[in-house]
A and B are shown apart, each in its own frame.
Chain A
Amino acid sequence: METNKKWKHFDFGPLKSNVSKEKLSNVSPKKNSPELHKANTKVLNKKSCSTYKIPTFDFHENLTPKSISELAVHPKKIQEVVDWIEKYVHSPEQNLKKSPFLVISGPTGSGKTVTLNIICKSMGISVSEWVNPIDQDYEIKGQNQISQFMEFLGDSKWNSLFDSYVKKITLVKDFPNAVIHRPEQFFDVLEECSYKTDSPIVFICTDSNSNSINLVRMLFPDEIMAKYSIAHISFNACASSLMKNAIKRAMELIKDRKDCFKQPSASTIEAILASSMGDIRNTMNQFYLASLKEAGEIPTIQSLKESKGSKRKKVDKNSKLKGMSKDESLGLFHGLGRVLCPKREQVGASWRLSHNVGKLVDEFAIQPSMFVSFLFENYLKYFGDLKDACHASEILSICTGLLDRWTGDQEALIPALWTAVLGLMVFNDHKVSRWNQIRGPVKFNKSC
């Protein structure tokens, strides 16, 4: 009987720490996951024997900033958000005509949501967030997702009876799936909201490299932004200095909890910082992984070694760390370099461009005309032959013609960008490669 009972009551340990572990295994790279699972099961086994003292310290909850000063976001951006909230939430009388919408955009892990939450908390405003209903819900009710969404936004003017706060902000981060396929529906919703409610609505969109899921561009094109006078605050990736401060704070946090954490070595932290790419969430997860005490013995040794190895090779880029972080995105200068100094591969009697042009174009698809202006400003220095330059300038002239004509339609701009990029890469037969300073496009205002 005793043994039977043991089989039936399987102890999963305290829920919280388990959840955070699961989260971790989700974000941790595939390489580490087998080890981590091993560690997990090991811990679980220990727990089920209940001889091991269970650490109940929730790292992530403790780490989440509690005040504005703790945020790893540039103070100016915070101020922008505060200003907006003050303008629309605290003194809405002057802005009655305009429905207060705000779009916050930025790369993943730049602290968009946390910033909003903390500012609201500090100003005594409650935040109610839209969460997509699961499929079953609306199949049974027979109400479609969009109308639920609409209802939610419409209801947002009423305060919750159980809330002590007087002011309220509605947050939409989880856009209903339907609007991604048909943005017009979203515009309708906005239209309705703009006269139905006067409570402020904040939309949070994550930037994305790929075109097809770029929410900011799809759901908030220029004419919509203008029509409803939507404010837009764009967050940048977390700066490395702020990241360092955040790690320092995390170190302070785990200092007192010697029972479940150890201090990771300086080299590990450096490796984490190097591979962070401005994503604070990812960085903190890496840090957590590296500082876990019981995980330190088996699974993280592997990753520690890896990061150490990469650190030594850091001179020739830390490409080893790539497995641990998100996909690389090309900077502007990098992209310009690829286009202006194209590398070629000999294939038989012919040649091919060695970089993937499609990906390159996709990188800069958000601002084609800006990228083309940069190309124009700098291409001459990389050309060694007048005939090539003549072809190239012809290509650029065609390309701006296309860009100027279809300014409104983003999709139509992509072929123009293709023309410019591919044209410059193909026609550069007599490439001059020497060090050149990249210059920004000349801006001039007509003086008369």
Chain B
Amino acid sequence: MSVLWADKYRPKELSALDYHKEQATNLKDLTKEGDFPHLLVYGPLGAGKKTRIMCLLRELYGPGVERLKMETMSFTTPSNKKLEITTVSSIYHIEVNPSDVGIYDRVVVMDLIKHVAQTQQLNVNAQREFKVIVLTDVDDLTKEAQHALRRTMEKYISNCRIILCATTISRVIPAIRSRCLCIRVPAPTEDTIINILQSVCKKEDVNLPMTFAKKIVEVSDRNLRRALLICEACKVEKYPFEEGQKVPEPDWQIFIRKTADKILQSPSIESLSQVRQNFYELLINGIPSEIIFKTLLEGLLTKCDTGMKIKVVEEAAKYEHRMAQGNKAIFHLEAFAAKFMYLYESMLLGGFDEDM
């Protein structure tokens, strides 16, 4: 059986967590009473949010939560459109990503919670009197869905608890934030990642040199999941590890760099429309827009002088903020690309227009 290392060595209990141990004990104390408020778990990618949620549920319900099944639920919108969404559930909890259905997420949020909340537990003594709903990518929910969530959350608190999972809370409406206990899971430090890599490799009976581990961590951007995946990929590619072995880069990173090169090479309207196609390509393949933005900016800044850099970063901050506020990333990505092209062109010709 081949299971990815990242899944195979995922800690299953709060006490088995490798880092943020203090937080783990806090979570344990939280569940001692057998009850807890709605939770909002947030933090960067690959920091272990989901792992902590699962550990918490196990703490609460015992090993039964690990018996998962995939299920497709269907909903009908008011306009009679049929929606289907995959859910992962055990008898105690259900996990769903409502933003999978795009703008119809409101229907999913409302119907799902109602559906779960209206089924009463038969044997209250054997189980908890509430079920848990885990919603992922809450920051991608539309405003309507978030408002719907806020109402339903209050209504059904007696027999269901909601755990929300998000990368950032800046797009979660304050009303939801205030109804939840917010728990931030910071990304693990580089040393922690190295330790985890070492211990995983030991269990897999793989020899991981320190220098190579460091290299992997550098590339992984403090994303533990990515670090483990890269490590496993390297092992498949070439083992035993060599000193100068290259750490493979993900395709999308190369693709974004190419896009940045295109912007730098020929600032014109034609290349702008090609750049747009590239952005679409990336978005369709599920690369988060903030990662596209960040990588693109890094690629672009390499060719700028100091004065230009200040201007570009300023513009980038502006558009990135707008992007985080809205849900149509392509508009802002393109606006940034256009602005950069213009600035770059005028830099090459010498001097800026002050009105820009």
Contacts and interface: CB of A to CB of B under 8 A. Distances in A.
Nearest to B334: A393
Interface in B258-300: 267-269, 272-273, 276, 280, 283-286
Nearest to A448: B286
B330 to A, nearest CB: 8
Given A232-B79, A386-B341, A380 B272 contact: yes
A44 interface: no
Interface in A396-445: 396-398, 400-401, 403-405, 407-408, 442, 444-445
A314 interface: no
Nearest to A227: B78
A397 B331 contact: yes
B326 interface: yes
Interface of A is mostly: helix
Given A230-B78, A396-B331, A401 B143 contact: no
A390 B342 contact: yes
A133 interface: no
A389 B338 contact: yes
A409 B142 CA distance: 14
Contacts of A230: 78
B311 interface: no
Interface string A378-402: 0011011111011011101110110
A444 B283 contact: yes
A387 B353 CA distance: 10
A442 B272 CA distance: 16
Contacts of A383: 269
A404 B327 contact: yes
A447 interface: yes
Contact of B335 (A396, A444, A447, A448): A396
B8 to A, nearest CB: 21
Contacts of A231: 80
Contacts of B100: 445-446
A404 B286 contact: no
A390 B339 contact: yes
Interface in B62-89: 78-80
What class of interface size applies to chain B in its complex with A? 35 or more
A376 to B, nearest CB: 6
Interface residues of chain B: helix, strand, loop or mixed (majority) = helix
A381 B80 CA distance: 37
Given A386-B342, A396-B331, A447 B285 contact: yes
A397 B325 CA distance: 11
A371 B99 CA distance: 23
A384 B269 contact: yes
A225 interface: yes
B222 interface: no
Contact of A229 (B78, B142, B341): B78
A446 B335 contact: no
Contacts of A448: 286
A94 to B, nearest CB: 14
Contacts of A380: 269, 272-273, 276
Nearest to B341: A386
A397 B335 contact: yes
Nearest to A234: B79
B218 interface: no
B193 to A, nearest CB: 23
A226 interface: yes
Contacts of A225: 78-79
B144 A407 contact: yes
B256 to A, nearest CB: 17
A443 to B, nearest CB: 9
Nearest to B322: A401
Interface of B: 78-80, 99-100, 102, 106-107, 142-144, 267-269, 272-273, 276, 280, 283-286, 319, 322, 325-328, 330-332, 334-335, 337-339, 341-342, 345, 353, 356
Given A393-B337, A397-B335, 7 more contacts: A225-B78, A226-B107, A396-B335, A398-B322, A400-B331, A445-B100, A446-B99
6 contacts: A376-B334, A386-B268, A393-B337, A401-B326, A444-B280, A447-B284
List 9 tightest A-B contacts by C-beta distance, closest first: A404-B326, A397-B335, A393-B335, A448-B286, A390-B342, A393-B338, A444-B284, A390-B338, A400-B331
